[in-house]
Amino acid sequence: MQSTGRVRIPEGKKVAVNIGVDFDAASVWYGTFGQTSPAYLARGEFGAEVGVPRLLNLFEKYNIKTTFCIPGHTIDTHTETVKDIIKAGHEICHHGYAHENPTNMSYEQEEVIILKGLEALKRVGIEPVGYRSPAWDYSPNTLKLLEKYNFKYDSSLMGNDLYPYRPREVNVDFDNGNTFGPPSDIIEIPVSWYLDDFPTQEYVIGGGEGLRSNTEVYERWQSIFDYAVEHVEGACYILTVHPQTIGRAHNIQMLEKLIRYMEENGAWFTTLANICSAYEESAN
């Protein structure tokens, strides 16, 4: 049985809300989509030069401290922008080096990427407590590596939606049924493609459809928040946005509208690290 927990919510608030910013810049186009043309890389540049400043201004306006998940390649390319994020008091989370999907990597290959990302973070003075996998995917070794390098939380998996839980290794057997290992000491703060701006808003030729109405996105995001407020005690609501996507003029206004709505209805805006620290084990 899954080992789940609840989040201790401050008095007067109802749901822990993290607006997680995956500041991938060019690395998402290279690492996930294999695109290196100047046209694709310019979209990553937009995220660094336009999207991040807009987000930092928005978060300052509403006194929000949140988590930026940043690949090492972004740190090494847009170092001053990353320093602006740190100066503003936001948490920084490990997010690979060049947004590499670890699914088919060997243990040794994946460890190299973990270490390379840690080294880039160290260059800007950060020792992360959390990890988010590029492409939200795992290899059979990912959990072992997170434990080895003493991460406190992960935010990559979808085994729950509004409750944190402890992930387990899975022995896959399609002839006799899968079996699970013991719960990890890592706390999983779950993500969801339903709470991500990229699939519906970012156009990829021959790939994602993108370009859908952000009114549709707003309604979905609000509906999930409303469910958490009305039906789930000690919930966490984990939104994922990308500066090159949410930073577009029409989308940043939509995000501000959502922030105002959640603020009026009991949101505790906080970092992933704070959600991890506020985790309380549930009795199963």
The string of pLDDT tens digits covering residues 10-48 is 999 999 999 999 999 999 999 999 999 999 999 999 999
Indicate whether 207 pLDDT > 80: no
Instruction: Determine the pLDDT at residue 209.
Output: 74
Indicate whether 284 pLDDT > 60: no
What CA–CA distance (Å, rounded) separates 95 from 21? Answer: 11
Domains parsed from the chain with CATH numbers: 10-281 (3.20.20.370)
How does pLDDT run across 150-178, given as a tens digit for each residue?
999 999 999 999 999 999 999 999 999 99
How does pLDDT run across 66-114, given as a tens digit for each residue?
999 999 999 999 999 999 999 999 999 999 999 999 999 999 999 999 9
What CA–CA distance (Å, rounded) separates 52 from 244? Answer: 8
Asked if residue 258 lies in contact with residue 222, where contact means CB atoms within 8 angstroms, the answer is yes
Q: Residue 278 is encoded by which pair of tokens?
A: 């506020």
The pLDDT mean for the chain works out to 96
How does pLDDT run across 236-254, given as a tens digit for each residue?
999 999 999 999 999 999 9
Instruction: Determine the pLDDT at residue 265.
Output: 98
Q: Is the model's pTM score more than 0.95?
A: yes
**Three-state secondary structure along 173-217?**
CCCCCCEECCCCCCEECCCCHHHECHHHHCCCCCCCCCCCCHHHH
What CA–CA distance (Å, rounded) separates 66 from 139? Answer: 27
DSSP element (H, E) containing 239: strand 235-241
Instruction: Determine the pLDDT at residue 208.
Output: 72
Instruction: Determine the pLDDT at residue 283.
Output: 65
Confidence of residue 206 (pLDDT cuts 50, 70, 90): confident
For residues 249-274, give the mean pLDDT: 98
What CA–CA distance (Å, rounded) separates 20 from 131? Answer: 12
Q: CB 214: neighbour CB atoms within 10 A? A: 20
